[in-house]
Amino acid sequence: MYLHEKPLWRRESTFELGYAGDPINERLRVLRYCFFADSVYYPKYVASLECTDGISPGCLIFGEVILKHLIPLAWCVFLVSVAVAATSCKSKPKPKATPKNLPVHTLVYGGDFTLARRLNFALFDEKARSKIMEDVALLFRDADIALVNGEGVVAAGGYYYDKGEPRPYMYRAHPLAIDVLKETGIDVVTVGNNHFGDYGPEAMREMLDRLRMAGIDYAGGGVDRRDAQTPAYIKAGDVVVAIVGGDFTMSKAYVAKKNRAGIFYRDAFRSDKNEDEIVEDMTDILNEARKHAHLVILSPHWGDNWQESPAPHIRSLGKRLIRAGYDAIIGHSAHMYQGVEMIDGKPVIYDAGNLVSDFGPGDRSRFGMAWKLSFTKAGIKQIEGYPLLLRRNVTLFEKGRNRDDVLSDVVKKSADMDTALRIEDGHIVGDCTPGNIHSPRKNTVPIRKVPKRITLAPNDTILDALPDRAIPINVEFEDGISLVGYELLTDKLQIPKSGQVVQTYWRTSKKLKGEYIIRLEARHTNPKTERQSWTNTEHLPGDWLMPADRWPEGKIIRDWQLFRLKFDPQGEVDFYAALVKGSRTLKPKTSDRPLEKDKLVYLGKAKYSKDAKRLLRYMKSYQKKYPPGK
């Protein structure tokens, strides 16, 4: 409803009630003054109030009443009630119509950048580090906004944090990973996922500080609860874009609190039981973001691993969030690329798959998608998808025989969701419907502060002496390396899914060169069948972050590793350690511990037990008894 005013040459004040384009002829004329819809109108004006968007004329029809005497108070009350009724017919103001030839900008989105494990091999090798994103970096650098999901935490410290799983994967990368993100041109990293908190709140805070110090923003997590719900605001030319993140999987343990770093979390993992609550919460965040941004894009961590298509409840949630007002949804979590669904002309890219992976070349997640979104002030105009080939720690454009298969697969997956995409010049194209311009109500763009210094997580990888709690041993290898102690976190293994945290303590008497790997091995004999089985894991020392060429002479190097066990859960498991240089397992020169095959150092055993607790509950008790750094 809006107000027209014009001079009145007649003595009476006239209110003309009607709706746009067809004012109702009936008029209500009153003398001198009358309070109407909280405003005072004077005899020298005519006020015209109109309802829009198809309001029925019946709501405003009045007979002509000409009053020649003083209006009784009752009539004024009646007129006010009529005005309130007319006001209630008013709809929300329409967005501004979209002018032609608006400037077009681009956002490039890659999926899961695995910040963990074997990625650290490449990070510590300058040549290998430069090749991680070399082939695809130009696509990201040329975009106005470049976005990835940081699957893991980047920190020099921190300790395993109990996320509630019996034998979890724990993801952490050396701070050199920030250099790779910066050199690739990444503007925003979403951290709302189920691995950001693997090494605790202090490590999360360290990563957030490192990102901001590098000029990279984040979404989906924060230094506290409020920060975790705050979008990343990025200006692209004449457009302000808000990136909203969050974890919708299974990481409640990592949620940000009033004075603790963490993620923004809502549970939509395997059911729609919380859908109404999630839509309400995400709409609140959307409405707040609209105060500052023309476009609001949601990047959720949602759905189960290894799913080639989104689950029905994820599609339902996506549809409701788009209709709540998000301009696009670009998701991650499955480690598999999925199809695209256009909802009211707006794209929902359910999952782009992996962007950087430390998996082997035969892994089924070796293909991913990079998506380019072209947008104006009015919304997303077009999406383009580029197939990726993921080798271990190297990402390439897929140009070989698999390219057409990947493209056709994405088109088919999207067609199954009633969305038509097309293949042009070796990539996917999809047209969107931008809509009208939503202008921000505020002229300011919120910018996260850059910290004065990085808040480092606790770190006791380098020690002056062997801790009293460790079991001392003396195993000497070549090059002056000695294994001087060990700890097994527990002597009880949980049934049915179990794991063990093995800690080993090392020392060198001289400066080391070359790559040394710690191998842990577990051996199991089934007490019923007497069948023997074994498994091993290899990693860089210092839980991936302290290569041997960085060891200070004479100091103790603490290593720990979560060993996931997949034996038939009965009987006992024996644990061993070995040192590998290159492809060669080193034979100890001397050892006060039993050796298996002359190379595996026996550490100890643990037994499957119905009384065993979840593995990282033991870790929590351990850290409480032995605080980091003490």
Q: What is the per-residue DSSP string for 224-280?
A: SHHHHHSPEEEEETTEEEEEEEEE-SS-GGGB-BTTB-EE-B---SS-STTHHHHHH
Residues 6 or more apart in contact with residue 203 via CB below 8 angstroms: 153, 155, 157, 158, 172, 197, 457
Residue pLDDT, tens place only, 124-144 = 999 999 999 999 999 999 999
Q: What number is the average pLDDT over the span 520-524?
A: 97
Pairing between β-strand 427-431 and β-strand 481-488 as defined by DSSP bridges = unpaired
pLDDT of 82 strictly over 80: no
- For residue 505, what pLDDT is reported? 98
Residue pLDDT, tens place only, 472-492 = 999 999 999 999 999 999 999
Residue 77 confidence class, pLDDT cut points 50, 70, 90: very low
- For residue 503, what pLDDT is reported? 98
Higher pLDDT, 245 or 436: 245
How far is Cα of residue 546 from the mean position of the Cα atoms in its chain?
27
Q: What number is the average pLDDT over the span 391-397?
A: 95
Least Cα distance to 179 among 145, 137, 144, 219 occurs for 137
- For residue 35, what pLDDT is reported? 32
Burial class (CB in 10 A: 0-12, 13-18, 19+), 423: middle
CA distances from 268 to 281, 311, 313, 566 (A): 13, 11, 8, 28
- For residue 400, what pLDDT is reported? 83
Residue 40 confidence class, pLDDT cut points 50, 70, 90: very low
pLDDT of 20 strictly over 60: no
Which SS3 state, helix, strand or coil, does residue 125 take? coil
Choose the weakest-confidence range: 62-71, 256-265, 440-449, 561-570. Answer: 62-71
78: tokens are 């009646």
Task: Point out which residues pair with 518 in neighbouring strands.
Answer: 539, 579
Pairing between β-strand 34-36 and β-strand 39-41 as defined by DSSP bridges = antiparallel
pLDDT of 186 strictly over 90: yes
pLDDT of 421 strictly over 70: yes
Strands (E), 52-203: 65-66, 105-115, 145-154, 172-173, 188-190
Question: Cβ atoms within 10 A of the Cβ of 543, count?
Answer: 23
Residue 117 confidence class, pLDDT cut points 50, 70, 90: very high
Residue pLDDT, tens place only, 236-277 = 999 999 999 999 998 999 999 999 999 999 988 778 888 999
- For residue 271, what pLDDT is reported? 80
Query: What is the C-alpha R_g of the chain?
Result: 32
464: tokens are 């002056």
- For residue 28, what pLDDT is reported? 34
Question: Cβ atoms within 10 A of the Cβ of 88, count?
Answer: 10
Q: What is the mean pLDDT of the chain?
A: 86
Asked if 193 and 492 count as a contact pair (C-beta separation under 8 A), the reply is no
Percent of the chain whose predicted confidence (pLDDT) is above 70: 83
Q: For 462-625, give the CATH class.
A: mainly beta
Higher pLDDT, 88 or 556: 556
Helices 312-324/275-290 angle, 10° precision: 30
The pTM (predicted TM-score) of the whole model is: 0.84
Domain 105-431 matches domain 462-625 at the CATH topology level: no
87 — phi, psi (to 5°)?
Answer: -65, -35
pLDDT of 375 strictly over 60: yes
- For residue 53, what pLDDT is reported? 38
Percent of the chain whose predicted confidence (pLDDT) is above 90: 77
Pairing between β-strand 367-376 and β-strand 105-115 as defined by DSSP bridges = antiparallel
Choose the weakest-confidence range: 9-23, 129-143, 488-502. Answer: 9-23
Residue 51 confidence class, pLDDT cut points 50, 70, 90: very low
pLDDT of 209 strictly over 80: yes
Q: What number is the average pLDDT over the span 114-124?
A: 97
The residue ranges of every structural domain in the chain are 2-88, 105-431, 462-625
CA distances from 18 to 48, 58, 61, 138, 216 (A): 8, 10, 8, 58, 53
- For residue 364, what pLDDT is reported? 67
Higher pLDDT, 360 or 395: 395
Three-class SS of 146-171: EEEEEEEEECCCCCCCCCCCCCCCCC
Residue pLDDT, tens place only, 297-346 = 999 999 999 899 999 999 999 999 999 999 999 999 999 999 999 999 99
pLDDT of 497 strictly over 90: yes
pLDDT of 23 strictly over 90: no
> Which position has the token pair 């000409």?
66
Q: For 105-431, give the CATH class.
A: alpha beta
- For residue 61, what pLDDT is reported? 31
- For residue 360, what pLDDT is reported? 67
Q: What number is the average pLDDT over the span 173-178?
A: 98
- For residue 98, what pLDDT is reported? 66
Q: What number is the average pLDDT over the span 29-46?
A: 32
- The rounded distance, in Å, linking the Cα atoms of 409 and 306 is 16
Least Cα distance to 349 among 253, 254, 414, 270 occurs for 414
